[in-house]
Amino acid sequence: MNVRVVVTGALMIVLAIGFFLYTAAVAPKSNDPAGMMQTVGEVSGAVGAIGIVMIVFGIFRKRR
């Protein structure tokens, strides 16, 4: 198991969730809160998905 990749993937997921929640709190002050949250959701989802893929690869791949 490649621990560095797993930890990095988990950190990416935590940061994506934190970014989404922080932006959700700031969104009502925006000129276009719906559009802003749509973009933030897409970005957070992509970062979270990359984190999940990193965790899976880190668990199933062996270190050289």
Total number of domains in the chain: 1
Q: Kindly state the tokens that stand for 21.
A: 């929640």
Q: Kindly state the tokens that stand for 24.
A: 């959700």
Predicted confidence at residue 63, as pLDDT, reads 65
Q: Token pair 């270190």 is at which residue? A: 63
3-state secondary structure of 62: coil
Q: Which domain holds residue 29?
A: 3-60
**CB-count burial class (<10 Å; 0-12, 13-18, 19+) for 4:** exposed
Q: Kindly state the tokens that stand for 50.
A: 């990359």
What does the pLDDT profile of the chain (64 residues) look like in tens digits? 899 999 999 999 999 999 999 999 999 999 999 999 999 999 999 999 999 999 999 999 876 6
Q: Residue 26's closest CA among 16, 35, 14, 36?
A: 36
